[in-house]
Amino acid sequence: MQKRQLGKSDLHITPIGFGAWAIGGSGWAYAWGHQDDQQSIHSIHRALDLGINWIDTAAVYGLGHSEEVVASALQGRSNRPYLFTKCSLVWDAKGQVHNELSPDSIRRECEASLRRLKVDAIDLYQVHWPLAEDSLEGIEAGWTAMAELQRQGKVRWIGVSNFNSKQMALAQRIAPITSLQPPYSLIHRDIEADILPFCERNNIGVIGYSPMASGLLTGSMTRERVAAFPQDDWRRRSSDFQEPNLSRHLALVDRLREIGARHGRSPAEVAIAWTLRLPAVTAAIVGARSAEQVQGFIGAMDFRLSPTEQKEIEDFLRQ
Ligand SMILES: NC(=O)c1ccc[n+]([C@@H]2O[C@H](COP(=O)([O-])OP(=O)(O)OC[C@H]3O[C@@H](n4cnc5c(N)ncnc54)[C@H](OP(=O)(O)O)[C@@H]3O)[C@@H](O)[C@H]2O)c1
C-alpha cells in the first residue's frame, strides 16, 4: 500500500483516511441523522482491514461521542491506526457549541480527548477552526498552547484546519505546522489559488476533507433522498443540497459515473481520485457510516485519473 509522509512528520499515511464526523451520531447541531454505533464500529473495522491506517475525528463530533466510538472500535485490536483529532469547538451544558482558542481551554480539551480515545498521546492534534474567517485573534495564544502539548508528549504532531495562509503564517512563526485540513472536492476548490501553494512552499501536509462533498458526489444522492433528509441531518441546511446547485452537482455525478464505468469504479472513487491528483494534497479524509460504504470507495486508494479524464472533468466544470 502506497503511503505518504504528512508534512515533515514521521507519520506515513495511506491516501485515504477514515473520517469520523457522521459516526458521532445525533443529538447536536451538526448531526447526520440517526447513526447506529455498531454499524459505525463495523465501518471502522472494514476500513482498517482494507488497509486504511489513520482516523480523523474531533472532540465536537457528537459532543465527544465520535471519539468514544473510535476508542470502542479499536479495543482489543493489535494494530492501532494513527489517531487524529481536533480542538477549539467546545460545548456547554445545553450542548451549544462555540469556538474557543484560550490555552486553558485547549489543555482541558486535550485531556478530555486523551481520556475518550483511551490513548497516552494523540498522533495529530488539530485546531478545528480559527475564531472567525480571516481573523488572527487568539491564534498566537492557542498555537503556543498546542506547541506546549507537543513538547509535553501529549500530542505527537500539531496541525490546523480551515486556516487561511495569513493565519498559518502567524502560527508558523511560533511552531511548525505539520498539516492543514481544508475542504477540498470538485465543488469546493478555493484552496487551489493560494492555500495549496502556501502549504507546498512550507512543506505543510494537506489532508482534504469532504472529498465526496458530504455524500453529494457518491452517486447515491437523489432529489428524493435530499427531500427526505431527517430533521436532524445538517445537510438540509446546506446550499450545496439546494437548487440551483443540486441539479448542477447531480449532473456532475453523471459525468463521474461515466468516467468511473470505464474502469469499474464508482462516482465516489472518481471524486476522491480527483482530489488526489495534485502532489500538494497528501491524502483525503473520507466519511463512512457502514462497512458497505467503505467498500464503495476503497478503490480510490490506488485509482488515479488520466490527464485526459482530468481535462474531461475540468471542461464539464467550465460549462
Ligand atoms: N475540519 C473540518 O472542519 C471538517 C469538516 C468536514 C469534514 N471533516 C472531516 O472529513 C471527513 C469526511 O468528510 P465528510 O464526512 O463531511 O464527507 P464525505 O467524505 O465527502 O462524505 C461522507 C458521506 O458520504 C456518504 N457515503 C460514504 N460512502 C458512500 C458510498 N460508498 N456510497 C454512498 N454514499 C456514501 C455517507 O453519508 P450518507 O450515507 O448519509 O449520504 C458519508 O457520511 C469527516 O468525517 C471529518 O473527519 C472535517
Decide whether any atom of ligand 1 lies within 6 Å of the 241 Cβ.
no
Give nearest CA residue, ligand 1 atom 30: 293
CA 213 to ligand 1 center in whole angstroms: 7
Residue pLDDT, tens place only, 239-281: 999 999 999 999 999 999 999 999 999 999 999 999 999 999 9
Helix axes 165-172, 139-151, angle to 10 degrees: 50
Task: Verify whether residue 82 is a known catalytic residue.
Answer: no
Could you tell me which of 59, 46, 50 has the C-alpha nearest to residue 86?
A: 59
Across 131-142, average pLDDT = 97
Statement: residue 1 has pLDDT above 80: no
Q: State residue 126's pLDDT score.
A: 99
Instruction: Label residue 79 by pLDDT band (50, 70, 90).
Output: confident
CATH code of 13-318, in short, is 3.20.20.100
As a whole-number percent, the residues of the chain with pLDDT over 90 amount to 98
**Which residue's CA is minimally distant from atom 14 of ligand 1?**
210
- List the domain boundaries for the chain: 13-318
Pick from 241, 248, 204, 200: nearest CA to 224: 241
- pLDDT one-digit tens code per residue, 189-224: 999 999 999 999 999 999 999 999 999 999 999 999
To test the pocket of ligand 1, the residue of 13, 16, 18, 21 to mutate (highest count of ligand atoms within 8 Å of its CB) is: 21
Mutate to test the pocket of ligand 1, among 97, 289, 301 (most ligand atoms within 8 A of CB): 289
> Residue 318 — very low, low, confident or very high, per pLDDT cuts 50/70/90?
very high
203 dihedral zone (left: phi>0; alpha: psi -120 to 50; beta) = left
Q: Is 161 in the pocket of ligand 1 (CB under 6 A)?
A: yes
